[in-house]
Amino acid sequence: MLKCTRCGRTYPETFRLRCDCGGTLLVERGYYDFFGSILPYLDMRRYLSFLPIGGNYLPPAVPSITPTTSLQIGSAFGLFKLEYLQPSGSFKDRGTFVTVAKLMEGGINEVVIDSSGNAALSMALYSLPAGIRVHAFVSYDAMQEKLSLLQRLGAIVHFVDGDRMEVHERAVEFAEREGVTYVSHWFNPYFLEGTKTAAFEAYEQVGVPDYVLAPIGSGTLFLGLWKGFKELEKMGEITRLPVFVAVQASGYESLCERSKLSNPLADGIAIPEPPRREEMEKVLGETGGTCVSVGEPETRGALSWLRRVGFLVEPTSATVLAAMWNLVERGEIPDGSKVLLPLTGSGLKLTQGI
Amino acid sequence: MLKCTRCGRTYPETFRLRCDCGGTLLVERGYYDFFGSILPYLDMRRYLSFLPIGGNYLPPAVPSITPTTSLQIGSAFGLFKLEYLQPSGSFKDRGTFVTVAKLMEGGINEVVIDSSGNAALSMALYSLPAGIRVHAFVSYDAMQEKLSLLQRLGAIVHFVDGDRMEVHERAVEFAEREGVTYVSHWFNPYFLEGTKTAAFEAYEQVGVPDYVLAPIGSGTLFLGLWKGFKELEKMGEITRLPVFVAVQASGYESLCERSKLSNPLADGIAIPEPPRREEMEKVLGETGGTCVSVGEPETRGALSWLRRVGFLVEPTSATVLAAMWNLVERGEIPDGSKVLLPLTGSGLKLTQGI
C-alpha cells in the first residue's frame, strides 16, 4: 500500500503522487527474508520481489548492478558506487524502471515531467518501448548535450525561461490544464522503490557502510538509499543504519544553511525547495547525520580527481567526493570508516567539456 | 602461459603481443570448477580466478556485469547484452582492465594504441590512474565526440590521414621508432582474457545461447566470447558451444565476401585485414557458423529499432540486430532459438546525432 508520510492515510498501490492532505507518500510492504527473496538475476531484476510491480510489463532496458569499488580517502575509505553505468547514463533509470512498469499497469500513456535533464532523459528512453508520450519541461539553461539527446528520444520538450522551481511550476500547471499525468520523481513514491535497490546492491557488495553521502536535489537517491537500508533493518538483516549525510550545492541548499555564492556546476541538484525536505530531515535526525554544502571550486577539483581515477562523471556527481574531503579534513569521519559515495551521472554525454 | 596459435610455441605470461614466428598468442591455463571459482563480487572481479593477473594492481573503474535481456525477434529470441554500460562506454573496458593490470605488473608506463575511437578511449581512461602515458593513433575521420573525449582524458592524439589500416601502420612505425610498447587489442592476448568474461556472465544469466552474433572488426569480442564458452566446455560445465556468427560491415569484410558498397556507419569494425582472421575462420568452422555482412540502410534501421526499445547505442552496435533480422528472414535461425546479441558501444556520447 501507499502511506502518507504526514497524516498516515493509506491508499492502494495505483499510480498516485500525493495524499489528499498534500503529504508525500511511501510504499509500505512487509518483507522478511532478504537473501531468500533475491532472484537469480545479475541485474536489477535480482530485487523484483521487493518491488511493487506485477511484472506483466517490464521495460527491456533493465538497469544494471553497478560496481562498488573502494579507494582510500585520507585515512578513511570511499566506496564509489558507479551508479552512472545505466541505460540513460544516470541512477534515475532505477526509479524510472519501476515508474514505467507502474504507469503501464495503470494504462497511462501520456505524462509530464520536469527535470534538469537526467530524469527527463531517463523517462524519455523508458517511455519509448512502452508507447508513453513524454512532455519534458526543462530550463533554457539545461546542458545542450542533454537537450539534444532528449529531442532525439522523441520527448516533446517545453522550454521554460526560469530556474528549476519555475520549471516545476510550469510543468504542474500544464499537467492540470491538459489533464495529463504528472510523474515528477520529486513526489512519485514508486521512484524511491527503484532507487532503494542501490542500497540492496551496496549491502551485498560491501556490507553496511558507516556513512552514506548522497547528493540532494529532490532527494530521490538519498531517500531511496535510506529506504533500502531501513528495509534491510526491518528484515532483521542489519542492526544499524549508516549515518546519512546530505550533500548539497552552494546557493541551492534546502537542508544546510543557504550560501550566498552559488555552484552553477551542480545543475542536477539545484533544487532549493524539495517537497520531501521534512523526510530528509528526519533521516538526518534518525541516523545522526549532517549536511554539507559544496561550492564550485571543490566540485571542479573533485570532478578532476574522479576523472584521473577513471570515473568519467558529470559535475553534480563530484559533489559527494568534495563533501567527503571536507568531512575528513574536519575530522568528522573516523579513521578507517567506510563511506558510500554513489556517482550519479555519466560524463560521456558531456562531449563539449564543462 | 602464452601459446602461439600458429606454431604452438609457449612463453611466460609477461606483456607480449606476438610469437617470434609472427603468430598471434592466446593465454592458456587450466581451469576446473566454474561455479566453485566464482568470487563473491557483483562486478567483473567475480571472474578474477580466471584472469592471468596477480591482483597487485587492479584499475579502480572495475567493469560492470552487464544486463542481458530477452526480446522476441521473428520467431526467435534476441538476448541483448548491454555491453555498452561500462566506464568508458564500450565493452573494450573488459579487455583494457586486464591489459592495464598486466602493463603495471611489467612496469610499462608508456604505450601506443591505434583505434577508431573506443579502444583508445578505454585505454586513455584506464591509463590515467595507472600513470601510463598513451599515444593514440586515430584517423581524421574518427567521430568528433570520441576525439574530444580522448583529448579530455589526456591522451596524446596522433592524427593520421588515411583509413583504419593506415592508422595501424603509422602506430606500429611510431612504436618501433620510439621504442614505446605497442598495445593494440588486435594482437594483445590479455585483451581477450577480459572479453571472455562476457561469456561467463551470459552463461550465468541465460545458459548457453544457441547462437552468438558478434560484430567483427579485429575480432576481440568475438574471440573473447568464443574463448569464454570454450573454457566453460573444457571445465565440463557445458557440452556444446553456441554457433558463432561473424557480423561485418559492408565494404570492410575480412570473412564474408567483400561488398562493393561500403557501410560508413559501422566505424568500429571498418577493419578489412584483422591479424586474427584465421582464428576466427577456425571458430566459424568449429561451431558451424557463418558470416553476415551488413550495409548502411539495415544498420540505420536496426539502430532506430534499438533506440525505440531503450537501447541507446552507437551505429556499429546495431549491426548484430540487422544480421539477426537477415538470418531470421532467410530461415537460417530455427524458431525459438536463443541468440546472444552483445551491444558494444554507448550512444550517449553521440550528442550530435548520426
Identify which of A60, A309, A348 has the shortest CB distance to residue B346: A348
**For residue B273, what pLDDT is reported?**
85
pLDDT of residue A270: 81
Q: Which residue of chain B comes nearest to A349, CA vs CA?
A: B349
Task: Supply the pLDDT for residue A178.
Answer: 96
- Of residues A82, A351, A353, nearest to B64 (C-beta): A82
List the single residue in A with minimal CA-CA distance to B78: A60
Most confident of A163-172, B53-62, B119-128: B119-128
d(CA A163, CA A147): 16
Sheet holding B338-342, edge to edge: B68-73, B76-81, B338-342, B211-215, B243-249, B291-294
**Residue A194 pLDDT grade (very low, low, confident, very high; cuts 50, 70, 90):** very high
Q: B257 vs chain A: nearest CA distance in angstroms? A: 35
Inter-chain contact A89–B308, Cβ cutoff 8 Å?
no
Distance CA B129, CA B219 (A): 28
Q: Which pLDDT belongs to residue B299?
A: 96
Burial B142-171 (b: 16+ CB within 10 A, else e): bbebbbbbbebbebeeeebeeebeebbebb
| Cβ–Cβ below 8 Å for B87 and A61 | no
Q: How many CB pairs under 8 A join A and B?
A: 147
Disruptive mutation site among B47, B64, B104 for chain A (greatest number of A CBs within 10 Å):
B64
Q: What is the pLDDT of residue A350?
A: 75
Under 8 Å CB-to-CB from A161, ≥6 apart: which residues?
A139, A140
Is the model's pLDDT at B117 over the cut of 90? no
Whether residues B205 and A310 touch (CB distance < 8 A) is answered with: no
Contacts of A125 in chain B (CB under 8 A): 310, 312
Among all chains, which residue has been given the C-alpha cell 603509422? B170
> Exposed, middle or buried: residue A29 (CB in 10 Å: 0-12, 13-18, 19+)?
exposed
Return the pLDDT at A354.
Answer: 54
Which carries the bigger pLDDT value, residue A271 or residue A29? A29
CB nearest to A349's CB, from B60, B65, B348: B348
pLDDT of B20 above 90 = yes
pLDDT at B97 over 80: yes
Contact B89 A348 (CB under 8 A): yes
Residue B254 pLDDT greater than 70, yes or no: yes
Q: How many CB atoms lie within 10 A of CB B47?
A: 25
Closest-CA distance, B80 to chain A, in angstroms, reads 9
Which residue of chain B comes nearest to A44, CA vs CA?
A: B67
Cβ contact, residue pair B125, A67, below 8 Å: no
What is the rounded distance in angstroms from the CA atom of residue B318 to the CA atom of residue B212?
14
Categorize the per-residue pLDDT at B172 as very low, low, confident or very high, splitting at 50, 70 and 90: very high
> What are A312-322's pLDDT values in tens digits?
999 999 999 99
Of B62, B308, B349, the CB nearest to A67: B62
Q: Is residue A47 predicted with pLDDT exceeding 80?
A: yes
Task: Tell me whether residues B308 and A43 touch, CB distance under 8 A.
Answer: no
Question: What value does the CA radius of gyration of chain B take, rounded to a whole number of Å?
Answer: 19
Tell me: pLDDT of B26 over 90.
yes
pLDDT tens figures, B143-159: 788 888 898 899 999 99
Asked if A205 and B42 come within 8 Å (Cβ–Cβ), the reply is yes
Kindly state the helix (H) or strand (E) to which residue A202 belongs, with its residue range.
helix A197-206
3-state DSSP call for residue A314? coil
CA distance B89 to chain A (A): 7
Q: Which residues of B touch A64 (CB under 8 A)?
A: 64-67, 82, 85
Is A89's CB within 8 Å of B65's CB?
no
pLDDT for the residue numbered B319? 96
Whole-number pLDDT of residue B55: 66
Residue from B303, B317, B348, B349 to probe the interface with A (highest A Cβ count within 10 Å): B348
Min Cα–Cα distance to chain B from A200, Å: 12
Q: In what order do the strands lie in the sheet with B10-11?
A: B10-11, B2-4, B25-27
Q: Which residues of A touch B309 (CB under 8 A)?
A: 60-61, 128-129
User: Residue B115 above 70 pLDDT?
Assistant: yes
Chain A residues whose beta carbon lies within 8 Å of the beta carbon of residue B88: 312, 348
Mean pLDDT of chain B: 94
Per-residue pLDDT reduced to its tens digit, A133-189: 999 999 888 878 888 889 889 999 999 998 888 999 999 999 999 999 999 888 999
State the pLDDT at residue B286: 97
CB contact under 8 A, B310 and A80: no
Q: Is B29 helix (H, G, I), strand (E, B) or coil?
A: coil
Pick the residue from chain A with its C-alpha nearest to B313: A87
| CA distance readout (Å), A251 to A259, A262, A297 | 5, 4, 14
User: Is the CB of B41 less than 8 angstroms away from the CB of A205?
Assistant: yes
pLDDT computed for residue B126 by the predictor: 98
Contact B348 A352 (CB under 8 A): no
Structural contact between residues B43 and B60, judged by C-beta atoms closer than 8 angstroms: no
Beta bridge partners of B246: B214, B291
For residue A173, the model assigns a pLDDT of 96
Reply yes or no on whether the pLDDT at B354 is more than 60: no
Residues A181, A329: Cα–Cα separation, whole Å: 46
B43–A67 C-beta distance less than 8 A: yes
> What's the pLDDT score for residue B301?
97
CB of A232 within 8 A of CB of A260? Answer: no
Mean pLDDT of B131-147: 89
pLDDT reported for residue B67: 98
CA distance B206 to chain A (A): 9
- The dihedral built from the CA positions of residue A134, A140, A146 and A147, taken in this order, carries a sign that is positive
Distance (Å) from the C-alpha of residue A258 to the closest C-alpha of chain B? 33
Neighbours of B64 (CB within 10 A): 26
Q: Is the pLDDT of residue B325 over 60?
A: yes
Q: Which one of B145, B148, B310 has the shortest CB-CB distance to A87? A: B310
Residue in chain A nearest B70 by alpha carbon: A60
Determine, for residues B64 and A59 on separate chains, whether the beta-carbon distance falls below 8 Å.
no
At B247, give phi and psi (nearest 5°): -110, 125
| A27 CA: distance to closest CA in chain B (Å) | 26
Whether the pLDDT of residue B167 is over 80: the answer is yes
**Nearest by CB to B64, which of A67, A152, A311?**
A67
Which helix (H) or strand (E) is A281 found in, with range?
A: helix A277-287
What is the complex's ipTM, to 2 decimals?
0.95
Q: What is the pLDDT confidence band of residue A116, given thresholds at 50, 70 and 90?
A: confident
Gap from A326 CA to chain B (nearest CA, Å): 22
Chain A residue numbers touching B148 (CB-CB < 8 A): 351-353
- Mean pLDDT (chain A, rounded): 94
CA distance A279 to chain B (A): 31
Q: How far is CA B119 from CA A131, A261, B136, B335, in A?
A: 35, 41, 9, 36
CA B350 to CA B354: how far, in whole Å?
A: 7
Q: Nearest by CB to A310, which of B59, B205, B349?
A: B59
What percent of chain B is predicted at pLDDT more than 70? 99
In Å, how far is A305's CA from the nearest CA of chain B? 10
Asked whether the beta carbons of residue B64 and residue A80 sit closer than 8 angstroms, the reply is no
Query: Is the Cβ pair A65, B61 closer than 8 Å?
Result: no
Distance from A206 to chain B by nearest Cα, in Å?
9
Which one of A85, A100, A128, A300 makes the best mutation probe of the B interface by having the most chain B beta carbons within 10 Å? A85
What's residue B147's pLDDT?
86
* Residues of B whose CB is below 8 A from A86: 85
pLDDT more than 90, % of chain A: 82
> Cβ separation of A65 and B68 shorter than 8 Å?
no
